[in-house]
A and B are shown apart, each in its own frame.
Chain A
Amino acid sequence: MKQNNMLAMILAGGRGTRLHDLTTKVAKPAVSYGGKYRIIDFPLSNCANSGIDNVGVLTQYESILLNSYVAAGRRWGLDAKDSGVYVLPPREKADANLDVYRGTADAITQNIDFVDSFSPEYILILSGDHIYKMNYAKMLAYHNECKADATIAVIEVPIKEASRFGIMNTDETGRIVEFEEKPAEPKSNLASMGIYIFNWKLLRKMLIADAKDENSNHDFGKDIIPQLLNDGKNLFAYKFKGYWKDVGTIDSLWEANMDLLDKNNELDLNDPTWKIYTEDVTALAHYVGPQATVNRAFVTQGCIIEGEVKNSVLFTGAKIAEGAKVIDSVIMPGAEVAEGATVTRALVSDNVKIGKGAVVGSADSEHIELVAKNVKGAE
């Protein structure tokens, strides 16, 4: 089904250093979220739901798991004829040496041949580590309506926090007049979401010029967008309303999971018109035992709960034994909490085992405790 002439490229090379031990073995886009998902399921599902048939995923850091994960395009239904998910790590070419991606723009520059092979009219640049639901087809319609050269998705943030973001200053028509990266005194509260639509012909030219510029960081935010503004091109801000989260730290990853516990929460993963697709795991419906209590929780298939779970998110196959307590916590896939153990305000990493009677995290900690290694039981 050919729907629009837009190719999507997802930037998924980042390490996510501030996620510490969660990303020593996997890249940030492959980090688990929301009980059964990985973060990159969001942009990929958004593409599938927006009628985008071809998606390139630019990977670099610890990419073995990520590469094999995204290569199975049928998870998101991106496996029809003339449709696919393409894994694009840096590669050696006939006319260039093997080089890592030096910046977000360079990652696209190094794959100009790949993009050209689809001869798209538009290119959609996405980040692989944001959690949100967005119809890119609507953004493209806006791009065309404005006759824009480039369109940047923006979200309103509290003005107090605006200095943490790249801020777009627009005129009354929505045209971007100025871009400021993390301004000390922000003039507007429209933060860039790192989602761009470009006319490919124009971007292609810009990228080739940028590659030759030795002073460039080869970055969309730092180099390409300011250059387009300098050249007097038509850049428009597309205002997005809804849930959007960049989970850069353990605290914010925990928070994003906790957001799912609210009634009628903004992300609404239960919306049948905009499902988020993910790996299909073979597991039973989750089981809640005769002694268990489960309140304010988000629980997925394969879990076995025999203890107490409160204010928590349980991922695929998590096991909470009898007498164990899990409060204000995130229990990642396959993690187990043994009899009598207590987990409070913690994020327990994949397959970690918390031993009998162990106590992890505390109710009044400033930060969320990341538990990335097995914890021995109390004697």
Chain B
Amino acid sequence: MDIAEQLQKIGQTAREEMSAADSADVLEKLRVHYLGKKGELTSILRGLKDLSREEKREVGGQANKLKTELDRIIEDRREELSSAISIDSSFDFTLPGRPRHYGHRHLVTIVMDQINGIFQRMGFEIADGPDIESDYYNFEALNFPPDHPARDEQDTFYVEGGSLLRTHTSGVQIREFEKRKPPVKIIAPGKVFRNEAVNARSYCVFHQVEGFYVDENVTFGDLKGVLEAFCYEFFQESVQLRFRPSFFPFTEPSAEVDVRCFLCNGKGCSLCKHEGWLEILGCGMIDPEVFKAVGYDSDKVTGYAFGIGVERPALLKHRVNDIRLLFENDIRFIKQFR
């Protein structure tokens, strides 16, 4: 039997015996037997000096490799044997981990971020305007003539100095049109104010995301496309939409968009007040009067605009039945949403 074969045989036996060792003592005996000063493998290594240089390199390499391997096997086995005996009986992993509290965004922010994100992916840029606004930007330039009943639909807070608290984010349209030339494709999220009694259904402050796109050849069909895509993404399912003609002074034609009530699927329930539909936004084609006010040529460009209330879908999605909860900032409420 040449040395290489011997090595192979020693390796095989040693591996088997070492894996089977059932105590530290047995393992130590095996170590001495194979790797000790007079051990089998040690003897072979000693015998190397009688070999040729060629053989020395070849056999020596194999022998050393085996020695390293057996050392590791002994080490591993020793570890296994010792951990099997010394289990820490006081270790109780049912105790909670160190609390690492990740705070919560406000529900309105969560929904607003979702809405903004969807429209940003469709190529809308974010703009904003002041909360304290002039009559011109909030009403007049948007084709609300003074003394027009359409103003009644938006109960307005006035502040010292003749300004008002914006009743919608639509004024940003005018501010941006004044600064830019078409194409203009913008969303404007923000706070809006209405002088309405505070109750479970309405609050004097809420949030809107205004969107508008002015370019050559923008049609009502484009508006429908963008809003359908938005609803599909926002409600995370294929919701049914209803475009219902309505009236806003700054768009014509104007529409309100309803979604099929997702709680009762249109059969009628308390969520949709038995109407089967939930109103979620207003929209329309930008009125030529608005373009006139900002110096756009309505023979060259057309555009659409929409305004989405943030609170309503936020409440609907989570079945929250009192809007005041949003503004009370009870942290037990805030912590419920991600």
Decide whether A and B assemble into one complex: no
Chain A positions near chain B (C-beta within 8 angstroms)? none
Chain B positions near chain A (C-beta within 8 angstroms)? none
